Amino acid sequence: MQQARKYFGNTTETLLLISLLYTAAVMPFQKQAVPVWPGIALMVAVWLFSGNLKAKFQLVLANGNALIFAVLYLFYCAGFFYSSNTAYAQTDLLLKVPLLLFPLVIASSTLKGKTDFILKTFLIAALLSAVVCVVRSGYLTYTTGENYFYYYKLSWFFHVGHYAMYLVFAAFVALYFLFGEEKNNRKALYIVAFLFLTLVIILLSARAQIVAYFVVISCGAIFYLIKNENRLKGVLILFSVLITGVVSLYFIPATRQRFQTTQNELNHFLNDTNAVNYSSYLRLAIWQTGVEVIREHPLSGVGTGDAKDELLKKAQQNNYDSIVKKNLNYHNQFMQTWAAIGLPGLFALLFSIIIGIAHALKKKQFLGAAFFTVIAISFFTESMLERQAGVIFYSFFSAILIFADNE
């Protein structure tokens, strides 16, 4: 009861917190189970009808970090006016509204001390979703005789890259509470959660997210080794990370095959740029084509609604039939944003990540640094903000980690 009183204050604060908890709880299930929009709608309604809008806007205007997200969205709005495909542009603007809403509301609200509650809610939800995926894969493997414990077959709720990104962050949330809570009587639970999520991440075999996972863990272990007097503990953590990496790459066949295939495909692409049948050099072909689009409109971009159309048009001219048939996007968020809304939009996106990393380093927050590192690496290999799962995840946790604990 006392812990509940700690998190829930007056009615307005309570409703706002409920909206954020709902969003965090349904986020890992949003495509197949529960919609995320009721939480966003409640959050906006509470923010609007609680009054003091002038004071709230003044807080946002005084916060340069919050403004960069608004600027990014406004660039997308501006891109609508020089788009030929206005229907797609409208859909994209609706999709990206959370980039504006979450920083706007959270930066101007009182949430100090409630971040941990939101993070724990997300951790529990991510664990439950992973359990559902594993149980489902077990059932399908048993009934069909086909292996469902691998890649997209394991990721039931949404795109495997997005889902792996969610679970990587959830694993870091478990580490955050494992090492961060002073009186931690749940260490065993956090350790089990971390190990289980690690296993599922490896089975998902999303290469960029696995790389991000090990980059963050290794850097965290080295930092712990340098700063902590207990050097033995730091060495053990780093050693455990390396062992886990070796095991995942050499003793789990599916994961090992994904990385071996990547190396083979890259070598093949260097010798035959017209052979685009596999994912790695298909990506390189997409990026080559994307560069051509960007070169023609480097400053303004081609418009919010036209970036994908122009990519497919160039791919067809270059005889990259696989790109056209699969209706692919840029598979790189930085490139996708640049092609759509130009160099100013790219800078806004980069700054939104840089300020997150800078804020985390200034506050010495492992979780913030981990989140934005995972985001940066994920953005290099997927257009994460072209799906609801990516937009919600990035805008929500960026706002929570940068703004929620402000005075």
CA atoms of 151 and 340, how far apart (whole Å): 30
Domain ranges of the chain: 1-61, 69-109+276-407
Q: Which long-range contacts (CB under 8 A, 24 or more apart) does 324-330 make?
A: 328/282, 328/286, 329/383, 329/386, 330/286, 330/287, 330/290, 330/383
Q: Contact at 8 Å (CB) between 382 and 337?
A: no
The reported pLDDT for the residue numbered 253 is 63
Q: Structure tokens of 192?
A: 């089990």
The Cα–Cα gap between 251 and 261 comes to 16
Q: What local confidence, expressed as pLDDT, does residue 263 receive?
A: 58
Dist CA 398 CA 106 (whole Å): 10
Mean pLDDT for the chain? Answer: 86
At residue 264, the pLDDT reads 59
What is the pLDDT, as a whole number, of residue 401?
Answer: 94
Strand ranges, E, within 271-330: none
Contact 354, 334 (CB under 8 A): no
What are the angstrom distances between the C-alpha of 328 and each of 312, 315, 377? Answer: 8, 10, 20
Q: Are the beta carbons of 118 and 18 closer than 8 angstroms? A: no
Residues of the chain short of pLDDT 70, as ranges, are 1-9, 32-33, 181-184, 224-238, 241-242, 244-281, 405-407
Tell me, rounded to whole angstroms, the distance of Cα 251 from its chain centroid: 28
Of 65, 8, 11, residue with least CA distance to 362: 65
359-363: Cβ within 8 A, 24+ apart: 359/65, 359/401, 359/402, 360/401
pLDDT, one tens digit per residue, over 179-193 is: 876 566 788 899 899
pLDDT digits (tens, 9 = 90+) for 192-227: 999 899 989 988 988 889 889 988 888 877 776 666
133-167 pLDDT, tens digit per residue, is 999 999 999 999 998 988 889 999 988 999 999 99
